[in-house]
């Protein structure tokens, strides 16, 4: 699944995102990819991918997001940022431009509860094109020992429900992309699994590092939010400043 005429060496200039206009090569690439997606995923509304992965908008969005959740990245010495569920990888690109090491963790193909194979394949094409380090692993079980106390930030922005899909009820997410159709199983097993995941992510952080979790909004997200806060406190993290939405949690080691 390859798109012709993509310069392998092409990298966007992130030095001034507010002035950056989407160049012709970007529009041509996304027009080609979007048409391919429309053909292979007819259940999605036509043009959905172009809107979802609008590159100029997403680069700016991730720049602004990092300015709010981890502004220290602009001056901290080199460290690692891990993005759980990186999509097309724009946050990784911005962090790399800032001089840090980056790792994305994305779902393997044929995974249930995520975004589906068509979306994953398009994102993989972008990872390869932009030479991003993305590991295609089950994030719930991925735990490299070499990451311990090496990260300035672990980011899970809209990916927690997909990582923990076994603990949600409802039609799998990859069939509809709507977390409002899902609900957390409010039982001990779910809390134990969330606690283990938060504890693992917390162990990767340097002192002063940030764990950012933005929930997509399962119907009973408030229950999961309370579990996440308890798990983070047990892992030795403190609750950072309030974020702009109630489903967004920022924890600091």
In a domain, 189, yes or no: yes
d(CA 152, CA 185): 31
| pLDDT band (50, 70, 90) for residue 142 | very high
Give the pTM.
0.82
Of residues 241 and 150, the one with the higher pLDDT is 150
In a domain, 17, yes or no: no
In a domain, 40, yes or no: no
CA angle at 17 for the pair 49 and 80, rounded to the nearest 5°: 85
- The average confidence (pLDDT) of the chain is 80
The predicted structure's pLDDT at residue 242: 58
The predicted structure's pLDDT at residue 208: 95
Number of domains in the chain: 1
d(CA 111, CA 109): 5
The residue range of the domain holding 132 is 66-252
* Mean pLDDT, residues 22-41: 54
The partner residues of 192 in beta bridges, in order of sequence, read: none
In a domain, 154, yes or no: yes
In a domain, 178, yes or no: yes
d(CA 53, CA 202): 29
| pLDDT band (50, 70, 90) for residue 33 | low
d(CA 134, CA 89): 9
pLDDT at 112 over 50: yes
In a domain, 18, yes or no: no
In 3D, which of 63, 64, 99, 106 has the Cα closest to residue 80? 99
| pLDDT band (50, 70, 90) for residue 3 | very low
Min mean pLDDT across 56-60, 147-151, 203-207 is at 56-60
| CATH code of the domain containing 109 | 3.40.50.150
In a domain, 13, yes or no: no
d(CA 134, CA 119): 15
- The CB-side HSE value for 44 (13 A sphere, CA atoms) comes to 24
Condensed to tens digits (0 to 9), the pLDDT of residues 47-79 reads 666 666 677 778 888 998 999 889 999 999 999
In a domain, 245, yes or no: yes
Condensed to tens digits (0 to 9), the pLDDT of residues 152-194 reads 999 999 889 889 888 988 777 666 667 778 888 999 999 999 9
């Amino acid at each position: 699944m390859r798109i012709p005429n993509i310069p392998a060496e092409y990298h966007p200039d992130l030095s001034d995102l507010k002035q950056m206009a989407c160049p012709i090569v970007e529009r041509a690439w996304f027009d080609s990819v979007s048409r391919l997606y429309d053909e292979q995923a007819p259940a999605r509304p036509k043009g959905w991918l172009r809107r979802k992965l609008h590159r100029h908008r997403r680069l700016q969005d991730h720049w602004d997001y990092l300015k709010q959740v981890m502004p220290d990245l602009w001056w901290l010495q080199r460290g690692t940022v891990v993005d759980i569920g990186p999509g097309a990888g724009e946050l990784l690109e911005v962090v790399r431009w800032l001089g840090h090491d980056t790792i994305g963790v994305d779902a393997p193909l044929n995974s249930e509860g995520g975004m589906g194979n068509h979306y994953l394949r398009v994102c993989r094409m972008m990872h390869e094109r932009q030479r991003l380090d993305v590991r295609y692993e089950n994030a719930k079980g991925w735990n490299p020992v070499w990451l311990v106390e090496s990260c300035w930030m672990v980011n899970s922005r809209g990916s927690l429900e997909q990582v923990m899909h076994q603990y949600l009820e409802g039609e799998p997410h990859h069939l509809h992309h709507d977390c409002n159709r899902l609900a957390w199983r409010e039982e001990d097993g779910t809390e134990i699994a969330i606690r283990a995941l938060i504890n693992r992510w917390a162990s990767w952080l340097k002192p002063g590092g940030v764990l950012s979790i933005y929930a997509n909004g399962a119907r009973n997200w408030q229950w999961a939010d309370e579990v996440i806060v308890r798990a983070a406190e047990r892992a030795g993290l403190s609750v950072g400043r309030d974020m702009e939405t109630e489903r967004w949690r920022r924890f600091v080691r």
